[in-house]
Amino acid sequence: MKADNWREFGVHLVANADIIEDICQADEEGVPKPEKMTAGLSWLVSQRLVDDCDGCLHPSSMLLDLGSRIGSQRFELSAPDLQELLIRIENGCERFHSAKEVAPAELDRELQQVRLSVRQVVTHLRDEHRAATEFIEARYGFSSRFKDRLRDIDSAVKRLGRLSEKLMAFERDKLSQWCHGDRSLRRLLLTSLYDSMDRCKTGIRDLIDRLNQLGTTMRRRNRYRRVAQGVFSWLQDGNSPDLDGILERADAASWVRATRLTNSGYLFPPVEDEKAIQEMLALIQAMPLPKVRRMLLDPLVSREAVKVVPAAPEVEDAPEPFVEPHFHRMLAALKRDLSPQSALAYWTNVDDGGFRSAIWLYALDAYYLTLMADATRAGTIPRFVLSPVLAPSHEGFGNQVVVDLVLRLRKKGERS
């Protein structure tokens, strides 16, 4: 919208403020349509901010949402009608695709309508997240009583839960189908709208966890406050605390704290009592001496040199790879028939060792790579080649699956 559009919108709202209030506060029957419509009221009807149905005027959901946001200063703002906006986006995409074939001149206008609907959804979600965050940052909400605070927290959690359920309707596959491969719509619906939805879902889950934690903290503080008020009232009545009766209870040992002990002990003998000092000295002298580890050899005396003969390492032959005999059989069949040999067909006929075909293909490929590395170091080129057979690739995936390995003769001039 341009600045002139905003000015025109404000002028019509100011001129028809009284009748707009009556329309928003009316019941289901609406407000009877006046005999002479003003220019501003007709403009609001043409913009679908006010609906004209059977001679009665009704407010649109957008007008109700705007009025609720302006008139309310609490967290309980009206939730956005995301279902209506989703239908509007779908209809806008259909009109955009129809304009491609019928009226190309209307493409910009239809695309602008879709962009406006997407902007409304993103703005609604940002406002919801900001309002919930401000409510949590206030710690205790806007109410003074404890019950009202818990009620506000529970209503905020339920509101965010309902909003999260509404966001489930914005599925990526559904939005992608509406685009029909158009880049402009994909940029709006997938890059802008769906990414905002994804971030909003994560933010909503975090806010719900914070609200639940806030409710738990408030309940705990309220219990402490009630206990403190009870103790204060008991002391105000002239009672005095007596801990002797508490310490004599049978369960006193389970909740009375023990005195903290230090890591080291200190002896403070009575200086005036000589007998007590003598007894303490006798007790210390009777204690056993600390254990001292003795050295077996004198470090000053050098030891004689001893010849150390290294033991001969035991050399064991490496086990034969289980792939090697099977590979030689396939190679012999290749030399005999001069036709490519399928590793999958060979393993199906042999089925040796109970290994799956995938393990056989993996081991055969590793064995072939080892042979090629040895041949490269020796400077020779084998006459055979092990070529992979790939499965058909899926659209959108770059991975390639090897389903078979074929042993064949190397073509003339083939290097790899």
In a domain? residue 287? no
Domain containing residue 400: 323-409
What number is the average pLDDT over the span 96-114? 80
In the structure, what pLDDT confidence band is assigned to residue 416 with cuts at 50, 70 and 90? low
Same domain, 9 and 139: no
Is the pLDDT reported for residue 77 higher than 50? no
Same domain, 223 and 92: yes
> What pLDDT is recorded for position 270?
58
Same domain, 83 and 215: yes
In a domain? residue 101? yes
In a domain? residue 240? no
Domain boundary among 55, 71, 87: 71
Domain boundary among 54, 71, 88: 71
In a domain? residue 242? no
Same domain, 114 and 46: no
> What pLDDT is recorded for position 295?
63
Give the dihedral sign, CA 369/374/376/382: negative
Same domain, 333 and 393: yes
- Number of domains present in the structure of the chain: 3
CA angle, corner 388, sides to 386 and 389, nearest 5?
135
In a domain? residue 266? no
Q: Determine the Cα–Cα distance for residues 209 and 196; give it in Å rounded to an integer.
A: 20
In a domain? residue 65? yes
Q: Determine the Cα–Cα distance for residues 356 and 343; give it in Å rounded to an integer.
A: 12
In a domain? residue 295? no
What number is the average pLDDT over the span 139-165? 76
* The pTM of the whole model exceeds 0.75: no
> What pLDDT is recorded for position 99?
82
**Backbone φ, ψ for residue 206 (5° rounding):** -65, -40
Q: What is the CA radius of gyration of the chain?
A: 43
Q: Determine the Cα–Cα distance for residues 171 and 190; give it in Å rounded to an integer.
A: 10
In the structure, what pLDDT confidence band is assigned to residue 353 with cuts at 50, 70 and 90? low
Domain boundary among 42, 71, 100: 71
> What pLDDT is recorded for position 248?
77
For 170-221, write each residue's pLDDT tens digit.
Answer: 888 888 888 888 888 888 888 888 888 888 888 888 888 888 888 888 888 8
Same domain, 52 and 129: no
Same domain, 82 and 67: no
- Per the prediction, the chain carries an average pLDDT of 79
> What pLDDT is recorded for position 75?
43
For 115-139, write each residue's pLDDT tens digit.
Answer: 888 887 887 787 777 777 777 776 5
- For residues 86 and 64, the answer to whether their CB atoms sit within 8 Å is no
Is the pLDDT reported for residue 79 higher than 60? no
> What pLDDT is recorded for position 11?
87
Using CA atoms in the order 327, 328, 329, 331, what is the torsion angle rounded to 10 degrees? 90
Q: Determine the Cα–Cα distance for residues 131 and 159; give it in Å rounded to an integer.
A: 12
Same domain, 95 and 217: yes
Same domain, 12 and 63: yes
Same domain, 189 and 122: yes
Same domain, 66 and 82: no
In a domain? residue 389? yes
Same domain, 85 and 43: no
